[in-house]
Structure 1
Amino acid sequence: MTLIPSTVRIGAGAGFSGDRLEPALELVEQGNLDFLVFECLAERTIALAQEARRRDPAGGYDPLLIERMRRVLPAARARGVRIITNAGAANPLGAAHALAGLARDLGLGPIRIAAVLGDDVLAQIKAAPHPLIERPGSTADFAELVSANAYLGAAPIVDALDEGAEIVVTGRVGDPALFVGPLAHAFRWRLDDADLIGRATVIGHLLECAGQLSGGYFADGDRKQVAGLARLGFPLAEVDADAGAILTKVPGSGGCISIATCKEQLLYEILDPAAYYQADVIADFTGVHFEELGPDRIRVHGGSGRPASGLYKVSLGHDEGYIGEGQISYAGPHAVQRGRMAIDIVRERLAITGAKVADVHGELIGVDSVDRTDRIGGEPREVRARIAGRADDEQSAAAIGAEVEALYTNGPAGGGGASRSVRRIIGIVSTFIRADLVTPRVEFVEG
């Protein structure tokens, strides 16, 4: 009979694909963890991963996965820390095989790795039109969909851990589910207990962005100071069987965990705090409370949930052609005027040459590229002009950068540091799919 622990310690080892590597190792070595989660997928990431898998059928998983695990896995294995990650991206099974090879190379002995499959629902989406969420229209409006991945819930992660997985590699799952799964496994929670899973979703949502909870993305000059951001410590939670938790980090690591950082992360990317839709539950964050127990120790309790909707959100990747871009800098007196002149010249040149580009956009970085409100004080003495536009093909998109580069000798005085680029664009839209059309499953790879 499996004993149910009084508390479970679960850490956040990454909040995005390119996150720092050393904070996760610090958590494993000093955090006394039971589980470590690497959350590595953004909406566009998985569509790009699908493209990578088309080029290489063995690829399509997170490019940092192997290096991340090379750093962490020996210490995790020695301490019995089990790892859950969505870094499988478009190819969880391929990632599991790659990790098994890594474990053999590291001499770690037999290791049980689970791949969670079933989030790829491209065939189901193509079988019938599905209304889009963000705008009018349906999935039938796209001549070619690059990817369609459903946000799975915690159930297959629980199944994998129940069957002895030491590493669980998923594709697209709801970010909080990466944390709900190991907690539900450890505490033997029923996933249809909406209030309990709603509270667990609070914990998962707080941890999912890793360093954001411990002061990353929080500092704001003198108004909100955070010490030690260069060696930011990632958070962990001491969770009890009723889905209350103490949020903390490794003592002596950089950053801070405070009521303010927790409140900001609780509301991060939340449209309606009373109805946060996940595959497992509709979570309600409005009853969440934070209590400071000491430095970098915040107790979180409360929250609730309602039964799941029976729908899974699906992230769709589609081809949007190419973006061509050019940049050039101007400094000294009248820099803003010269920068605006450069933008006007490029626009006119694109019209004269008949370049097949659309949505051409010009901006001055440092003046109006992000904040378009009225400036206070004088004009800056250095700016960088950026001109970008869309095209259906790579050659047409390249015309923009070529015209920017030509400003060296054919534009305003003093231009320098020109750069040019062309990149393919994968657009992202969303729809819903009935849960009964999605079949999550687990496959094991022995390392």
Structure 2
Amino acid sequence: MIVRIGAGAGFQGDRIEPAVDLAERGALDYLVFECLGERTIALAQQARMADPAGGYDPLLERRMRAVLPACARNGTKIVTNMGAANPVAAAQKTRAVARELGLAGLKVAAVTGDDVLDRVGGYVLDETGAAASALGERLVSANAYTGIAGVVAALDAGADVVICGRASDPTLFLAPLVHEFGWARDDWTRLGRGTLVGHLLECAAQVTGGYFADPGVKDVPDLAHIGYPLAEVSEDGSAVITKLPGTGGTVSRETCIEQLLYEIHDPARYLQPDVVADFSGVMFEEIGPDRVAVSGADGAPATGQLKVSVGYRDGWLGEGQISYAGANCVARGELAAELVRDRLAPLAGAITEARAELIGVNSVWTGGSGGARASEVRMRYAARCRDIETARRIGEEVEGLYLAGPAGGGGATKQVREVLAIASTLMPASEVPTTFEMEEVRLAVA
């Protein structure tokens, strides 16, 4: 038995067209959309507070409208964390889309339980050293990285679409494999191997050449039409990573190695809700064009602790940008930054952090050289402020450089936004039960 599982997204703003291609031509058993980042779900919680019917992925409706017909036609089930802060509302929206498309009988489930805002107060945050409750009204969200239990239960109950909130990224891929193969929850080796499959697929195009491409060093063919990956997974957890014929990109030993090392810290102890995965013995073998066999992962019992991502309000960010080009542009950009800094000095008590940079010279690598040879720069001044009025002053002072600053400034922009910071803590998995609710799509009677 082989389970074919594809990646439909690797982040919230990912492209939709490659997922549609997978839904139509992939002969998939499962199509997985992994769309949540730590800050993403905190922002979703803010959206839900503003609108109780919101808080799910803003692209959910577009994605579902694009892939549901082919998935329903081909028997492909969908698993996704596009529920973000509101999986129940996301499931309702998905059923509404399915009804519009005439997809009667589709069973859509919402998995809940990751929201632990009501019980995180006593847990100490790694970044602040204080209990979450010390944040008071600044505390916005707390979501645990849940495991496979809720998703597997929904699939066992016959769900065609499973929508959850904050789950561990590989969980979205591991859960269908546990459901299909009936793996025991203490089969650490297979759980480790399934986690590897999920880790390789979770960032979608990263394993088919996206984020890998470096012209002249690591060339990737037809990147404009890159295909998303899929895995052909065997019952023992071994797999082949590949992509659809005719799509751009590449699946190679190199792309798989780069993705393997992505965000795992210790390869021998990749901590997940259901298993501590061991990738130290993983092997990749190219067995054909764009086909890489994956084996050698293992696992050990889970720690019993879940990571919790905590979002909190942390002031306001004010920002302004302005461009300088031509001879002596670097010096003019430096002078512009100095002027803004001096003019904001009277507001120092309301500014907690400030940064000036010349994009193209030192915005990413502060030790960069060769600035004098730059033909154009963009000066960016940003500051974290205690209040919104001070934050507005940042961009205003940059805009004021048009006539009260160095020669030749142009293209000034400004923005203000509330800063949503992220902290983390651990919570016993026993305190984070998950459940699901499921409803079948029924068409209106004429």
Tell me the TM-score range normalised by the shorter chain: over 0.9
Say if 1:13 and 1:210, in contact at 8 Å, map to a contact too: yes
SS of 1:17's partner is coil
SS of 2:321's partner is strand
Say if 1:214 and 1:232, in contact at 8 Å, map to a contact too: yes
Aligned residue number for residue 74 of structure 2: 79
Distance 1:273 1:138 in 2: 30
**Counterpart of 1:142 in structure 2: which amino acid?**
L
Alpha-carbon shift at residue 188 of structure 1 (Å):
0.8
Aligned residue number for residue 334 of structure 1: 328
Aligned residue number for residue 3 of structure 1: none
Aligned residue number for residue 225 of structure 1: 219
The answer to whether structure 1 residue 195 and structure 2 residue 193 are counterparts is no
**Counterpart of 1:221 in structure 2: which amino acid?**
P
Alpha-carbon shift at residue 373 of structure 1 (Å):
2.7
Distance 2:438 2:392 in 1: 46
Instruction: Map residues 10-409 of structure 1 onto 2, 5 A cutoff.
Output: 10-126=5-121, 129-134=122-127, 136-143=129-136, 144-352=138-346, 356-376=350-370, 378-409=372-403
Alpha-carbon shift at residue 140 of structure 1 (Å):
3.2
Say if 1:355 and 1:399, in contact at 8 Å, map to a contact too: no
SS of 1:103's partner is helix
The answer to whether structure 1 residue 428 and structure 2 residue 419 are counterparts is no
Say if 2:208 and 2:226, in contact at 8 Å, map to a contact too: yes
Deviation string, structure 1 residues 382-406 (Cα, Å, up to 9, x no partner): 0000000011222110000000000
Say if 2:362 and 2:368, in contact at 8 Å, map to a contact too: no
Alpha-carbon shift at residue 316 of structure 1 (Å):
0.3
Alpha-carbon shift at residue 281 of structure 1 (Å):
0.5
Distance 1:352 1:280 in 2: 53
- Give the root-mean-square deviation of aligned CA atoms: 1.2
Alpha-carbon shift at residue 146 of structure 1 (Å):
0.4
Distance 2:425 2:242 in 1: 36
Distance 1:345 1:419 in 2: 17
SS of 1:51's partner is helix
Q: Unaligned 5+ residue runs, structure 1?
A: 1-5
Say if 2:191 and 2:275, in contact at 8 Å, map to a contact too: yes
Distance 2:320 2:20 in 1: 40
Deviation string, structure 1 residues 141-177 (Cα, Å, up to 9, x no partner): 3123100000010111111001000000000000000
Report the CA distance shift for 1:323/1:303 in structure 2 as closer, same or farther (over 3 A): same
Say if 2:150 and 2:436, in contact at 8 Å, map to a contact too: yes
Distance 1:309 1:233 in 2: 36
Alpha-carbon shift at residue 377 of structure 1 (Å):
8.2
Distance 1:282 1:439 in 2: 20
Say if 1:355 and 1:396, in contact at 8 Å, map to a contact too: no
Distance 2:123 2:348 in 1: 38
SS of 1:384's partner is strand
Say if 1:198 and 1:284, in contact at 8 Å, map to a contact too: yes
Aligned residue number for residue 444 of structure 2: none
Distance 1:343 1:98 in 2: 47
Report the CA distance shift for 1:191/1:38 in structure 2 as closer, same or farther (over 3 A): same
Say if 1:118 and 1:438, in contact at 8 Å, map to a contact too: yes
SS of 1:40's partner is coil
Distance 2:317 2:212 in 1: 31
SS of 1:140's partner is helix
Report the CA distance shift for 1:353/1:49 in structure 2 as closer, same or farther (over 3 A): closer
Q: Unaligned 5+ residue runs, structure 2?
A: 442-446
Q: Percent identity?
A: 55
SS of 2:210's partner is coil
Say if 2:333 and 2:377, in contact at 8 Å, map to a contact too: yes
Aligned length: 440
Say if 1:180 and 1:201, in contact at 8 Å, map to a contact too: yes
Alpha-carbon shift at residue 257 of structure 1 (Å):
0.3
Distance 1:418 1:287 in 2: 52
Say if 1:231 and 1:254, in contact at 8 Å, map to a contact too: yes
Alpha-carbon shift at residue 425 of structure 1 (Å):
1.1
Alpha-carbon shift at residue 211 of structure 1 (Å):
0.4
Report the CA distance shift for 1:352/1:387 in structure 2 as closer, same or farther (over 3 A): same
Deviation string, structure 1 residues 315-336 (Cα, Å, up to 9, x no partner): 0001011100000000011100
TM-score using structure 1 length: 0.97
Alpha-carbon shift at residue 355 of structure 1 (Å):
7.3
Distance 1:374 1:99 in 2: 48
Distance 1:437 1:190 in 2: 22
Distance 2:334 2:347 in 1: 20
Say if 2:361 and 2:371, in contact at 8 Å, map to a contact too: no
Say if 1:317 and 1:428, in contact at 8 Å, map to a contact too: yes
Deviation string, structure 1 residues 289-320 (Cα, Å, up to 9, x no partner): 00000110000001111101111110000101
Alpha-carbon shift at residue 26 of structure 1 (Å):
0.6
TM-score using structure 2 length: 0.97
SS of 2:350's partner is coil
Distance 1:358 1:338 in 2: 26
Say if 1:58 and 1:94, in contact at 8 Å, map to a contact too: yes
Distance 2:348 2:246 in 1: 60
Alpha-carbon shift at residue 376 of structure 1 (Å):
4.8
Distance 1:43 1:51 in 2: 13
